Structure 1
């Protein structure tokens, strides 16, 4: 039997448990860094580095916008990468260490001037520069990794299973990062600057290593895919604007983008506001808001496998509706929550975890189906392009959302604090703004996401038809 036949036989097999495990591990590092950044960076800027909320929100917005801009660029570059290691692995191999270094540098608080105003703007420039580098290397390792989902298997249910492994590691990474934060904050509770410095260093190290596990564990399948891809006729890459036109003329892709944007805008903005909500509205401490987020993430992790099993029986769309319905109840409850209702607060966090789990699982398991529809229509596979544009729009929306959170807090009269000084008492206007940002604001986008999911057109049966037509075409080419 020749190598080509061997590769086809190997690739037709179900993914092994070690391969799924290794693939899932690739999202551990990005999840840890994204979670620590999403939960703590805004409050680190305002409460430790002493930046004004508007300036802090602007730093996050600039970083996210750059992160969005570089996504489709790196996506296309990874599509065109020629290597015996495949198209995606070289990015992960060479990007992992700089990714960890620049994540750590975000948590320094350099003193540039004794003049508070000059130091404020010098810190602004420092954090913007570090953020640009960190987001570049984050994309360099994470976007090629996510594009591998559509390449490792073409099976409809197998992709949902693969996504469940990925997000099991992703949510576990989020939980691990929060547990580390609790332990480190307790160990260095007298020195907030040192708290974040140690947290950044520890998370940087444990974020880099799993990326190499992923490369090692998926290398055989990726190399077989690369040999098979090179045996097919060479495709002429389309110009960037032409790819943009084709991607956004794919109607199911637009629905998936919308669903994902709404889900993750709700997730990320709620995560950014929860520390302020728990500390300033509920009157609790740092460990309490970390425990609230752990409750959400643990529930999401448990439900990930429940939703994955239910998706095989009821379909992706139905599962998304179930999860989002429970989540909307939780958002309403958070807005109505009063100081002292601690048990209810944790109950609502558990309910929110039901919905957060579907936000992780369902949109990402839809994207590979969209890619196959595009391949059927155009004759080209452009995983990097579709994942790049999806993440681009997500990050633009998140950038705007974080910017709005920062400026709403500042305009509402929120008073930033400085490490080592007593926490200021916030005015009623700031407390009201925090409650709006944690409840009604995410609720609106969740409802929009439900409407878009209702109209999503690729069912399990439709996807089977697409795969059949692609199989017939490839047989004719061979």
Structure 2
């Protein structure tokens, strides 16, 4: 039921979410966490050292999908805002995109039977196109649900804590699966394909569980706080995008997210090169280090959630970001043979990285409320379209820049089925270290600056809800 224009329901639904809803929403994040973490940690290394693709073409294959992605993210967000169906605005997109995304999880790790560089480039570019488009179709509407399931400042921190925990947990699962399968499968390409197949299966299950577990809550919210898709249907996409970018709070959140996420992804992309080529350790040691980062992050999510409820979202970022800087400087200074110190620095990095997962996504629903107070429109799709775009552009830029840095520094790629760990020139080793420390550190500093200018505090959010003619939730 949709209220007449200009009217709001007088009955209010409780803003407290059930454990079932929080858990089901968190599970949905697995559909993004598995393919994105696999891509961040392994794609460039797989392309150069397993498929035999040169670093520049390998990075270009990833970046090529962004040409379409630059349009598809805001476009799908705009379309999902306008979607009218018995399943609402978001769920049809999630269900429609899950099977193509699952297939892309598998096809990305297939090595075509050719050594022709341009044929390899064409194949992996095509897979990237499918992967990015289907990921947008699933994850953009999923992310927008956070702003629709509850309007509470604290409850949104709780909900995004579940999302962040499952995001990091999905990364941990991918790394553990990789460690187990890499030890059992000797063929270089088959071991990656095995992990991709498992991930593709779990993507489908995660989407189905999320839809089934959040559907009842979504129906209740829509009954008491209905949103008419026709309210934005007459506004062109370009005008809505321009209006969204004029929102100062949104610009600072996106700046914070772009800087922080790209920094984390640069470190993730270069990590296998750092561990194998600089530290002289095995691929299994790289997986162990990544597990420490992700494991520490998921364990400390509850701590950051508690601090966020006691203070605010910006404060916990100010506490977490310096820990990342300490770890990055330590890793840059690390010398071969200092493996124990390397693992200790990984734990420090994980403690700070948890805030990168938690803070921007918990700020974004408040930005949607701020936009409604300014415009009178609920446009979750547009805002989350840009956010998902930022997430994917961070991964793509990290991979592409790392590939270019490796190419410029004279990195020697292994060909086909040769073992990794080919001797590298000093220039390549130096650039690997820079990409592990100072380069992402500069990005984290940029994130701190953006967080300092983010305007929405807890008290301001209460005023925003009042301006939207809503009663602030009491938890």
Say yes or no: TM over 0.5: yes
- Note the 1:39-78 alignment, pairs <5 A: 39-78=41-80
Q: Residue 79 of structure 1 aligns with which residue?
A: 81
1:54 Cα deviation (Å)?
A: 0.9
Q: Residue 337 of structure 2 aligns with which residue?
A: 340
CA distance in 2, matches of 1:413, 1:233: 53
1:98 Cα deviation (Å)?
A: 1.6
Q: Residue 385 of structure 1 aligns with which residue?
A: 382
CA distance in 2, matches of 1:233, 1:436: 48
Alpha-carbon contact 2:141-2:381 (below 8 Å) kept: yes
Q: Residue 268 of structure 1 aligns with which residue?
A: 265
CA distance in 1, matches of 2:23, 2:237: 34
Alpha-carbon contact 2:40-2:395 (below 8 Å) kept: no
1:381 Cα deviation (Å)?
A: 0.3
- Note the 1:187-226 alignment, pairs <5 A: 187-188=184-185, 190-226=186-222
Query: RMSD of aligned C-alpha atoms?
Result: 2.0
* Cα distance, 1:130–1:231 mapped onto 2, change above 3 Å: closer
- Aligned with 2:293 (options 271, 296, 304): 296
CA distance in 2, matches of 1:236, 1:166: 28
TM-score, length basis structure 2: 0.94
Q: Deviations over 1:189-217 (max 9, x none)?
A: x2101111111111111122011000000
Instruction: Provide the secondary structure at the position in 1 that maps to 2:469.
Output: helix
Q: Residue 318 of structure 1 aligns with which residue?
A: 315
Alpha-carbon contact 1:64-1:398 (below 8 Å) kept: no
1:397 Cα deviation (Å)?
A: 4.5
Q: Residue 305 of structure 1 aligns with which residue?
A: 302
Alpha-carbon contact 1:283-1:339 (below 8 Å) kept: yes
CA distance in 2, matches of 1:282, 1:236: 54
Unaligned runs of 5+ in 2: 4-8
- Note the 1:8-407 alignment, pairs <5 A: 11-112=13-114, 116=115, 119-188=116-185, 190-228=186-224, 230=226, 234-237=230-233, 238-407=235-404
Bigger mean CA offset, 396-405 vs 155-164: 396-405
Q: How many residues align structurally?
A: 465
1:102 Cα deviation (Å)?
A: 1.7
Alpha-carbon contact 2:323-2:349 (below 8 Å) kept: yes
Q: Deviations over 1:165-204 (max 9, x none)?
A: 111111111101100000110110x210111111111111
Alpha-carbon contact 1:11-1:221 (below 8 Å) kept: no
1:398 Cα deviation (Å)?
A: 3.9
Alpha-carbon contact 1:84-1:223 (below 8 Å) kept: no
CA distance in 2, matches of 1:185, 1:171: 21
Instruction: Provide the secondary structure at the position in 2 that maps to 1:148.
Output: helix
Alpha-carbon contact 1:92-1:145 (below 8 Å) kept: yes
CA distance in 2, matches of 1:24, 1:306: 17
Q: Residue 6 of structure 2 aligns with which residue?
A: none
Instruction: Provide the secondary structure at the position in 2 that maps to 1:471.
Output: coil
Unaligned runs of 5+ in 1: none
* Cα distance, 1:450–1:236 mapped onto 2, change above 3 Å: closer
Instruction: Provide the secondary structure at the position in 1 that maps to 2:335.
Output: coil
* Cα distance, 1:286–1:333 mapped onto 2, change above 3 Å: same
1:70 Cα deviation (Å)?
A: 1.1
